[in-house]
């Protein structure tokens, strides 16, 4: 019998404990289905700090994303300071989900993988068949972004002019439960 994907509520509780243990500070992870002014400012601030200028969204772009069907923002904080976020929304004309943005304010602590896993758990719980994203093989700092997603089970589809590398993961209970076990539930692997 293959493992069942845990509920998002269960995963959120485990994630908060793991981040608190890993970072040595009280951490919270919250899921938001809409954007208010405070969340909008937080998203824009993280976007401006973590992405080069041509990849940053304008205020109206983020507002528009927040109005799209299936929008969800997952925000992690320690001591009321953002440490990472991810958000996405439904892909038009498919039973898939689009992971628009993933950012971690502190690198090398497993935050990006944890947030991506949380989003995948949400998508599996909601019945999406796959998650798609755009990335690049390497960013301007030399980080191997495509490899980051490949380690999580995403497959490179193609490179599209103006959008970058298109990657996708097919969602199954087994695959998402394995990611949860590897990146959230298992303290030995939280930084890997």
- Length of the chain in terms of residues written: 192
Instruction: Give residue 62's pLDDT.
Output: 93
Instruction: Give residue 139's pLDDT.
Output: 75
Mention every residue, 6+ apart, whose C-beta is less than 8 A from residue 162. Answer: none
Q: Looking at the predicted structure, is the pLDDT value of residue 144 above 90? A: no
Q: Looking at the predicted structure, is the pLDDT value of residue 186 above 80? A: no
Structure tokens that stand for 56 in this block: 């940053």
**Residue 98, strand partner residues:** 89, 132
Mean pLDDT, rounded, for 22-26: 89
- DSSP summary character for residue 160: E
Interatomic CA distance for residues 179 and 116, integer angstroms: 10
pLDDT averaged over the chain? 89
Mention every residue, 6+ apart, whose C-beta is less than 8 A from residue 63. Answer: 35, 40
Q: Could you tell me the pLDDT band of residue 27, with boundaries at 50, 70 and 90?
A: very high
Instruction: Give residue 31's pLDDT.
Output: 96
Q: Could you tell me the pLDDT band of residue 187, with boundaries at 50, 70 and 90?
A: very low
> What are 103-133's pLDDT values in tens digits?
999 888 889 999 999 999 999 999 999 999 9
Q: Taking Cα atoms as reference points, which of 39, 96, 29, 102 lies closest to residue 69?
A: 96
In CATH terms, is domain 8-185 a member of 3.40.640.10? Answer: no
Mention every residue, 6+ apart, whose C-beta is less than 8 A from residue 95. Answer: 127, 128, 129, 130
Q: Taking Cα atoms as reference points, which of 61, 62, 119 lies closest to residue 86?
A: 119
Q: Taking Cα atoms as reference points, which of 81, 78, 97 lies closest to residue 89?
A: 97
Asked if 101 contacts 55 with a C-beta cutoff of 8 angstroms, the reply is: no
Instruction: Give residue 2's pLDDT.
Output: 56
Q: Looking at the predicted structure, is the pLDDT value of residue 172 above 70? A: yes
The model's pTM: 0.91
Instruction: Give residue 120's pLDDT.
Output: 97
> What are 127-138's pLDDT values in tens digits?
999 999 999 887
Q: Looking at the predicted structure, is the pLDDT value of residue 56 above 60? A: yes
Instruction: Give residue 102's pLDDT.
Output: 94
Interatomic CA distance for residues 115 and 104, integer angstroms: 9
Q: Could you tell me the pLDDT band of residue 74, with boundaries at 50, 70 and 90?
A: very high
Mean pLDDT, rounded, for 138-161: 88
Interatomic CA distance for residues 5 and 111, integer angstroms: 20
Mean pLDDT, rounded, for 155-172: 92
């Amino acid at each position: 019998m293959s493992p069942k994907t845990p509920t998002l509520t269960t995963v959120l509780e485990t994630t908060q404990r793991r981040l608190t243990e890993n970072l040595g500070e009280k951490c919270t992870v919250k899921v938001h289905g809409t954007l208010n002014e405070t969340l909008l400012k937080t998203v824009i601030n993280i976007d401006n700090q973590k992405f080069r200028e041509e990849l940053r969204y304008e205020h109206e772009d983020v507002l528009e994303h927040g109005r799209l069907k299936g929008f969800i923002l997952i925000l992690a904080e320690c001591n009321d300071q953002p440490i990472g976020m991810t958000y996405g929304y439904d892909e038009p004309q498919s039973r898939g989900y689009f992971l628009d943005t993933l950012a971690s304010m502190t690198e090398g602590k497993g935050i990006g993988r944890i947030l991506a896993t949380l989003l995948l758990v949400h998508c599996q719980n909601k019945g999406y068949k796959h998650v798609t994203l755009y990335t690049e093989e390497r960013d301007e700092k030399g980080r191997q972004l495509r490899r980051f997603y490949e380690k999580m089970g995403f497959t490179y589809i193609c490179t599209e002019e103006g959008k970058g590398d298109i990657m996708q993961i097919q969602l199954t209970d087994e695959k998402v439960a394995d990611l949860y076990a590897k990146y959230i539930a298992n303290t030995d692997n939280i930084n890997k």
